[in-house]
Every structure is written in C-alpha cells, then in structure tokens.
Amino acid sequence: MNIDQSLIPVISSCENAAQAWTAIADKFDRKNAVSLHSLIKAITTLVYDDKSSLSDHLSTFDNLWARLRERTSAATTDERLDYALKGLADSDEAKGAFLLLSLPKTYDNIVDNLQTKPNLTYNEVYQRLMDLASTSTSNQAPLDNTAYKAKAQKPPKECS
C-alpha cells in the first residue's frame, strides 16, 4: 500500500513480503563490478575540505566504509572481486589508513604523528581527529596543524 505506483509491476508477481523486498533490492541495489568500482572510487577519492565540518567528513567516510563492508560481508569465492576485498573491508587498520588518506596536506603533521603508532586502528584515528575538531571549534580558529605547532611568546633576551 505504501509503495510508489511505478514499482507495482516489480512486486506484483511476488508471493510474499520477502520476495517483494528481494525484487526491489534487485532493481535498485546493483551488486555488480561497476557499482563496486564506484564505491571503491568514492572511498579512495574522498578528501576532507577544511571549509566543511570534520564530523561530516567522518560521517561520510563511515557511511561509505559501511557500504563496502555490507557489500563484501557475504562474498563467496564465486564473486572474486567482492571476496578479495572482504579482508580489507573487515580490517580496522585498513579503515584507519584509508581515513588518513582522505585528509588534505594541511594534516600531514597529524598523519605523520599518528602513523608512528604500531597497529594504528580506525578508532584511534577517529578519536584523535574528533579531539582536534573539538579543540578547533572551542578556540574558534581554523585547524592549520596547530596541534603540533608550538607558538611560544618569549620576551626578547637582554644582556646584562
């Protein structure tokens, strides 16, 4: 009763709700090599823009990665590309590394600092970036590598 009239022909031959949902998924959720390529491209070309909110960027990244995990979670050896990416999608370290790749050059110091940690996980990267975002918004200043830049105001030295 709540389905759009244009979709009635898609589900009219279905005997139950499960079949109807499968028919709708088959119509809209194209699980083929092209859609997987588009998803991977979206993840690898995602770049944070300093003018937007860091939390929005993290949310976008999380949504894309969740789609990748869902797409590869039930992959079998018959679906070779999906199956090959399953380990990557399930890896918390890979997720963290891809998140670091999405940061612009202005974050190079932060990325370098984080990469010195062995077995860096997504949660550690996420937490550090959220800490930086909250520090940035509380100071009402842009985040230009300020987390690792010391600005000491020393008085001039005098000879006595």
This prediction has a pTM of: 0.66
For 63-68, the CB contacts below 8 A with 24+ separation are: 64/39, 65/89, 65/95, 65/98, 67/39, 68/39, 68/40, 68/43
Whole-number Cα distances in Å, 88 to 82, 98, 112, 114, 156: 10, 10, 22, 20, 54
pLDDT in tens, 57-107: 999 999 999 989 988 888 777 778 888 899 999 999 999 999 999 999 999
What integer pLDDT is reported at residue 109 of this predicted model? Answer: 92
- Copy the structure tokens of residue 152: 């000491």
What integer pLDDT is reported at residue 141 of this predicted model? Answer: 46
Residue whose C-alpha is closest to residue 94's, from 35, 132, 44, 47? 44
Region 117-135: what's the mean pLDDT? 89
Place of tokens 């380990």: 87
Region 3-21: what's the mean pLDDT? 83
Q: Residue 6 pLDDT > 70, yes or no?
A: yes
